[in-house]
Structures are given as structure tokens and as C-alpha cells.
A and B are shown apart, each in its own frame.
Chain A
């Protein structure tokens, strides 16, 4: 059973729009939810993360909205730029244990 699910699989937006990437998870005990950004030829890199005690986390143009009751979260990328085109992975973990990754959303921002 997949622990973390992401949608959509791919997303295309125009420059300046807000991109919304969705994520849901199975284990209600997960308490840490990082989002990773990956460019072609590189490893994933931590973009922003939230703990389950919070319902919102902002960092620059990136915002996570977290709904513990519904076991889902979303990443909003405000004023998307072509340089934001990448694959975004939602992940979840519990304490100091392994991190479970979703299958990723491939974002394309068109100029």
C-alpha cells in the first residue's frame, strides 16, 4: 500500500500563475512532511517542510497547507517562474525513521 500519494502526475501553468500540487498520506502518525524539488540530472533537494502541529508553512513563494483531519496537504507555488519547472516530491515520516516519498508531480511553467 502506497503511503504517500500525489496528484496531479504532471501540471502545466503559465508564468505568474499559482501552481497547486496535492498530496495525501495513509499513516495518521506521520508527523513531518517535507517537499523535495528535483531538477533533471540532480538529486532531490529539500524545498520546504511542515510538522503536523502546524496547518500552514510559508517560505518565499512556497506555501504548504496542511489538513491533519483529512490527511492531506498541498504545496502552492505563487507567481510561478520557468525556473520552478521541476519534479516535486511530497514525503512523510515519523520521528527518526525512514521517509516515504510520493511518485512526484512534474511541473512545467510556460513563459
Chain B
């Protein structure tokens, strides 16, 4: 049973370029979460979906960041006009949505903006 799959594992972009990160949740899981992790800020919640519907995007920067979940097998996080401060590890997690609160994390996508 594969875990949460995130691609790419590493991405380097130039300032001002766009970055798209993909997440494939565990099959059958109904909730998908996105977090950003840096040494300074720690684990920051960005957004989450339940049954593909956006539920809470309160952690998403208002500009340049967007997330979608077009089908139950994948979600994307897009960052437009990337800036050096966007450099971080972006973590995707899924859960069964049964109320246990147990998240299964992927290994993360490390974004470096030069």
C-alpha cells in the first residue's frame, strides 16, 4: 500500500517563475492537507480539502498561492511568481477523514527559489 506520493522531491526555480507541486494521497483517503515547513516558521498549515472540496485555506498566502484537487487521486499546489522566501519543504498529507485526526505525510517537495 503506497503512502502519500509527492512530486517533485526537489525543485529549483528562478525568482519570478512558477512552481507546481503534486500530491497523490493514499487511495481511499478523503482529506488532503498541505503544509509548509521551514526552520524558522516550523510546520505551517496552508490548506485542506475534504472529498475534493476546499474546506479551510486560512493558511494560504493571499497572493500567488493556489491549491486544487481536481479528482480524488491528486492535488496540486501552485506558486506563481516565486520569491526566495517561498523556499521551503512543502508537505502533503492525507487522512481517512474518519475523525481520528491521523495524518499520513508524504516525504515533501523541497522548493528552492534562487
Interface residues in chain A, defined as those with a beta carbon under 8 Å from any beta carbon in chain B: 32, 34, 36, 41-46, 49, 89, 91, 93, 95-104
The interface centre, meaning the residue of B4, B98, B99 with most chain A CB atoms within 10 A of its CB, is: B99
Sample of 18 further A-B pairs with CB below 8 A, known A42-B107, A43-B4: A32-B100, A34-B101, A41-B107, A43-B91, A43-B93, A43-B106, A43-B108, A44-B91, A44-B105, A49-B101, A89-B43, A97-B56, A98-B33, A98-B45, A98-B56, A101-B35, A103-B42, A104-B43
Does chain A have a CB within 8 A of B54? no
Query: What residues of A have a CB within 8 angstroms of the CB of B31 in the complex?
Result: 96
Query: What residues of B have a CB within 8 angstroms of the CB of A49 in the complex?
Result: 100-102
Residue of B45, B91, B97 touching A96 (CB-CB under 8 A): B97
Q: Judging by beta carbons under 8 Å apart, are A104 and B103 in contact?
A: no
Q: Judging by beta carbons under 8 Å apart, are B102 and A95 in contact?
A: no
Does chain A have a CB within 8 A of B48? yes
Chain B residue with Cβ nearest A41: B107
Q: Judging by beta carbons under 8 Å apart, are B99 and A96 in contact?
A: yes
Q: Which of B59-114 contact A (CB under 8 A)?
A: 91, 93, 97-108
What is the bound-complex CA distance between A99 and B48, given in angstroms? 10
What is the bound-complex CA distance between A97 and B91, given in angstroms? 18
Given the contacts A32-B100, A96-B98, A43 and B105 also touching, CB distance less than 8 Å: yes
